[in-house]
Chains A and B, each alone.
Chain A
């Protein structure tokens, strides 16, 4: 039996601008819940324009405060173009016929990622989220960077040869490739990824010749 390594994977870029501190952005939450929320440390606004500050209370002691700018975070329509946060930025797969079904599954998995980020029970230092969603045929694994870039890998359910560690490794490799991509000054963050190198890495993981 032909074992497919990875069926499919997708990268989602969530926020680029709203990555101050912990970010429990939830699109499903009601819009009225848009009050500025303190993220960390006690603080007050200097004026409504400031989004963050470093305040010097006494010589030699600098307190860093980070807080959320008004309205930018909760309301996804505010700054970014419509459909910016969770739009797929890179999609590749070995067999195209499954693509639609898998896209449905991955799209639903965003919910689980956000749930996991929201509950925050997880150790945030570990970027790997583990199994997010499984069906009879597929398993969806997730990975979220600190800037809330979401990676998904979908594997065939029958493939039990791929253990957690292998999948972690895949993600790490993808993350590295993504970091390289972001270092490219010609890449505009948020654009669909068309990088040759990134594609090579991704296809390499798919086919297992990594």
Chain B
């Protein structure tokens, strides 16, 4: 590669060349200045302003100096080379003596100038170096100097070409002197203008030559070398981009020629490229230019590929020099494609595989170039372009492998072996440069055996896929390289890896929804899954294929059949998202039953993409409970009876304005917002991913369903019914998932759009007695009624038996039975579905409660227990109120010492109550002790009472006989039992016993009071108004004890006179205590009263209490005690006295 290389002569390096400057005159002087001069020139860049408005460039000049040689100059000027031609000629002198100048220097310069003029060179400079000897220096300046003389002699019109400078090395200021700086600047400018002129002239030449391109003898190769020279020169000046432009122009021109050849414009020189391709080694010379190749171009011996390679390597090296390595990578693919397309266009005959070999070598070398980039950002940039290159070489490698039988699973034939040899041979020859050898060696190794080929192929694929991934070009990575790899693994039989790559690609296609590509990938995948034995995926993919409209019907049918067979053969339950198999279009929830809001039907409208009609065993919709009904009572009313959903309207988001106001009420901002965005933002993919898991959680999956439905391709309308709703809780339910069982063990699931709901209201089982309006039940009598049972929504099964059970005191029997009992079983007379209710005619009998508590209503309960075949039971309780048909009251009546018992029976029934003759029996002390004499009439044995009527009975207690037989205090309490029989007047046969037991206490008369009002004094017989009268009360103690000869104790009473204050004014003491001493029987009290009005006035009455006086000894305070009824007999009760009006003053 370098000069050390044996074929180093071959290498041409532009960087070795610098613009040449000749020097003449005082050579010793120049040698001493040479180093300083060249350093100074390259010290800083200079603006190169060019003609024709070309962009300005900054150029750093680094120059080489050669002694002037007139022969060499003549030769160089004559040649067309731009590199190696002296660009500037200088003449140096330090003569300051005018005499010396005149005698010697002038002739020397003259001679040199003659040479210049001879070659028409105008780029020359004469430099006079002045070395001042300050000591010798006279203070007077000479009139003319040598410099002035030279100027006037040689550069009269070109003053800038004659320069004077103080010898810097000798001067103290050295390079810093202004003269020296002026010299450097001038020289630089002159060099550049020289170049400018040179280039313009050269470009003119090139243009002229180009114009001749239609000349048959014109050759592009020759032209190429011409223009390349210009590029060289520009490169030499360090203007890489300009140099690149030259090459780009050449590239474009060449391409255009080839394109023109398509339309029959084939120039002579182009046909020389159209020879059969013999060598396909690709060498990219990055650092050097191969002289040999340039020679070959000159002699038109380069093949098209070699020429393209040369051109590209020149472009690449210039780009590298301009530190834009990524453009190399970017251009590489275009270059390769162009070269390959050129071969086709020019119809160049090339052995099979040769082009692929060439492309692979090129790629390998370009990749090496890209990898050698040092700067990380450049490397990153490069990687964007290397990935397609890698992919391209991958494809080419596959092509080669296919050609040579190196792909896995194939066996090389001898012909293919021969091909390999030919290909390797074609690569070997040509230029043995190390850059290329590595790539050739790699390729040769790859071609040597199937194993090495596979390894190389996979290496490249790995590199390609990772580079794409690194650049985040996932589609390229997975769909381009991934599918290539899948193809490769198909051959190698590695189904797992193949599947992996296909699945990855499929994911991308699905993400972007490219139907055709999805189908294509699925077709491949189906084979893989079948091979692997992945039933689940196989079925899923088959299903997708069967339902994709992009496939032709036969393929769809075929995959559907395969799927059905697979499911039948395997035992796996397959649950898949519905996706595109069945597309929901519309859902309507209709609730016919207004009362309970049962969605009696849910109509589905969906499109089936399956290839044929399927009889699907079941379609069901699962529901989720939104909320329990109790909490949702308010919302329940919001639940409409019909909900519907149309998929076509779903895409429109509910957007509204959203205005924001500041605190002070000013408008702050506005925007739009999506209502209910959460439901739209729900991730759909995660729901789809595991439908089965979601599905299993749901308890209500079968609630809405239809069985054995035919699903036809295209639109289907199916009504699902709500079934078995009895056993779910009340509440609002949302439709959740739709499940379609396509065939046994193949289920499709999809989520139903949110918002479809219905409400379920549960009805508990109820029972009630059916009674006519305004009719009530009565206790103590047989009542007919009907027990009506309403079975609730929750009863799962049909009721088999009903057990009736009542509170004590209530007996019942069914109509057909005769015996009353308090517990019985009834066989359910229910038929299956038709009705949820049953009526049982029932006879009830509630016992009369003890009547003495005077109850109005008797409450009873009846439990109804519904027993089903499973062990569930449901108990319903019925409360039954029984009214009493009659009430019985008793009363003790007294007359002096005689006692009577009165019984009143009141009737409350709607119907007539018939009563038998009653009797009363003394129960206590003993049955026989008390003798009761009936005072009732006995003529009518049956008394009928109507509602509200009362009947009274009266008995006298035969006291005298009783008292004689009884002993002491026992007689104080009597227990009596009133007995009778009653029945409804309509049914006199069904008599019921009525017993009324009661007790009479303290019935004996202890005190007899007789009172009256008399006129006091002698005023007259009658009382007069406002006249004081005397109220006299006579208290008489009972006399019973006298008979028994028991000495009577001392007893005290307290009396109070109770008088109507409008009638009587009590003038005396209104109350007092009367004490009966022992053996005293009677006492009389007189009190003065005054009638206030006239007429028949009821006399004042007396309230009498038993009085226990205080006993200080026994520390007992005095107390009053009320007498019980019957102990005090007021004989004067109700007596009136006649009060006369007051005698008027006149009469008196």
Question: Which A residues are closer than 8 A to B by beta carbons?
Answer: 1, 17, 26-29, 46, 49-56, 70-72, 75-79, 81-88, 99-100, 103-104, 107-108, 110-112, 115, 133-136, 157-158, 160, 188, 190
In contact, B683 and A49 (Cβ under 8 angstroms):
no
In contact, B671 and A52 (Cβ under 8 angstroms):
yes
Query: Is B520 on the interface with A (CB-CB < 8 A)?
Result: yes
Q: Which of A52, A55, A78 contacts B683 (CB under 8 A)?
A: A78
CA distance A88 to B666 in the complex (A): 47
User: Which residues in A have their C-beta under 8 angstroms from that of B384?
Assistant: 115
Q: Which of A85, A107, A160 contacts B479 (CB under 8 A)?
A: A107
Q: Which of B334, B670, B674, B683 contacts A134 (CB under 8 A)?
A: B334
Query: Is B134 on the interface with A (CB-CB < 8 A)?
Result: no
In contact, B517 and A104 (Cβ under 8 angstroms):
yes
Query: Is B1145 on the interface with A (CB-CB < 8 A)?
Result: no
**Most B Cβ at <10 Å: residue of A46, A107, A157, A160:** A107
B470-478, B634-642, B1023-1031: which one contacts chain A?
A: B470-478
Q: Which of A53, A79, A85 contacts B669 (CB under 8 A)?
A: A53
Q: Which of B471, B475, B520, B660 contacts A110 (CB under 8 A)?
A: B475
In contact, A87 and B337 (Cβ under 8 angstroms):
no
In contact, B669 and A83 (Cβ under 8 angstroms):
no
What is the CB-to-nearest-CB distance from B1092 to chain A, in angstroms, rounded to a whole number? Answer: 91
CA distance A28 to B669 in the complex (A): 35
0 or 1 for each of B134-173: is its CB under 8 Å from A? (1 = yes): 0000000000000000000000000000000000000000
B69-77, B506-514, B557-565: which one contacts chain A?
A: B506-514
In contact, B473 and A87 (Cβ under 8 angstroms):
no
User: Which residues in B have their C-beta under 8 angstroms from that of A53?
Assistant: 660, 669-671
Query: Is B693 on the interface with A (CB-CB < 8 A)?
Result: no
What is the CB-to-nearest-CB distance from B199 to chain A, in angstroms, rounded to a whole number? Answer: 29
Query: Is B677 on the interface with A (CB-CB < 8 A)?
Result: yes
In contact, B483 and A104 (Cβ under 8 angstroms):
yes
Using CB atoms, name the residue of chain B closest to A75: B683
Q: Which of A75, A78, A107 contacts B517 (CB under 8 A)?
A: A107
What would be 25 A-B contacts, judged by CB atoms less than 8 Å apart? A26-B472, A28-B472, A28-B473, A29-B472, A50-B658, A51-B672, A52-B671, A53-B670, A54-B669, A76-B511, A78-B680, A79-B653, A79-B681, A82-B684, A88-B513, A88-B515, A100-B517, A107-B517, A108-B475, A111-B472, A111-B474, A115-B471, A134-B333, A134-B337, A135-B392
In contact, A82 and B513 (Cβ under 8 angstroms):
yes
B40-48, B338-346, B416-424: which one contacts chain A?
A: B338-346
In contact, B673 and A136 (Cβ under 8 angstroms):
no
CA distance A46 to B1015 in the complex (A): 108
**Would you call the interface of chain A mostly helix, strand, loop, or mixed?**
loop
CA distance A81 to B653 in the complex (A): 13
User: Which residues in A have their C-beta under 8 angstroms from that of B520?
Assistant: 100
What is the CB-to-nearest-CB distance from A13 to chain B, in angstroms, rounded to a whole number? Answer: 11
Extra contacts besides A28-B474, A56-B666, A83-B511 (13): CB < 8 Å: A1-B262, A46-B660, A50-B669, A51-B672, A52-B671, A53-B670, A56-B667, A56-B668, A86-B511, A107-B517, A108-B473, A135-B392, A136-B337
CA distance A56 to B476 in the complex (A): 47
User: Which residues in A have their C-beta under 8 angstroms from that of B341?
Assistant: 136, 157-158
User: Which residues in B have their C-beta under 8 angstroms from that of A79?
Assistant: 653, 680-681
Query: Is B259 on the interface with A (CB-CB < 8 A)?
Result: yes
CA distance A100 to B651 in the complex (A): 30
What is the CB-to-nearest-CB distance from B1030 to chain A, in angstroms, rounded to a whole number? Answer: 103
User: Which residues in B have their C-beta under 8 angstroms from that of A112?
Assistant: 473
CA distance A110 to B475 in the complex (A): 8
User: Which residues in B have their C-beta under 8 angstroms from that of A49?
Assistant: 658, 673, 677
User: Which residues in B have their C-beta under 8 angstroms from that of A160?
Assistant: 255, 259
0 or 1 for each of B246-281: is its CB under 8 Å from A? (1 = yes): 000000000100010010000000000000000000
In contact, A158 and B344 (Cβ under 8 angstroms):
yes
In contact, B509 and A107 (Cβ under 8 angstroms):
yes
CA distance A136 to B653 in the complex (A): 46
User: Which residues in B have their C-beta under 8 angstroms from that of A70?
Assistant: 681
In contact, B684 and A77 (Cβ under 8 angstroms):
yes
Using CB atoms, name the residue of chain B closest to A64: B669
User: Which residues in B have their C-beta under 8 angstroms from that of A72?
Assistant: 681
